[in-house]
Amino acid sequence: MYVLNLTQPATVLIALLITILFIILGKEFKKSLLPAICLILFLGIILIHAFQSIVLTEEYYKVMATKSLGIDAIMILLSYISYLWVDDIEAKAKNKKSIDNSLDWFWKKV
């Protein structure tokens, strides 16, 4: 069974660059859908890694999938915060209410 190895630095760097690209494009086009795509993608990947860490029998692949869960969690946090940030930018540009205003104190400092 193939395991997407997010423990290798090159793979983490590529995933991070793609996520940052989507964040920048979302900010420029004022579309919160773009960071949401990354968020949904990483939520799917974390489900796959959780399933693989339970199902796989070889210890090497099980450890690799378990370590990847931590990196998935970090990428989900990054994607979620960037989604809220771009959603706030989109809401201000279109004069509509944002989904969540609980981080207004943070956005004012950014």
pLDDT in tens, 43-90: 999 998 888 888 888 888 888 888 889 999 999 999 999 998 898 888
Sequence-ordered list of residues with C-beta below 8 angstroms from that of 78, at least 6 positions apart, any chain: 19
As a dihedral over the C-alpha atoms of residue 27, residue 32, residue 33, residue 37, rounded to 10 degrees, the angle is 80
pTM assigned to the model: 0.83
**Does residue 27 carry a pLDDT above 90?**
yes
* Closest among 39, 54, 77, 74 to 3, alpha carbons compared: 54
Q: What is the pLDDT of residues 4-13, one digit of tens each?
A: 788 888 999 9
- Over 60: is that where the pLDDT of 1 sits? no
Ranges of each domain in the chain: 9-104
Residues in the chain: 110
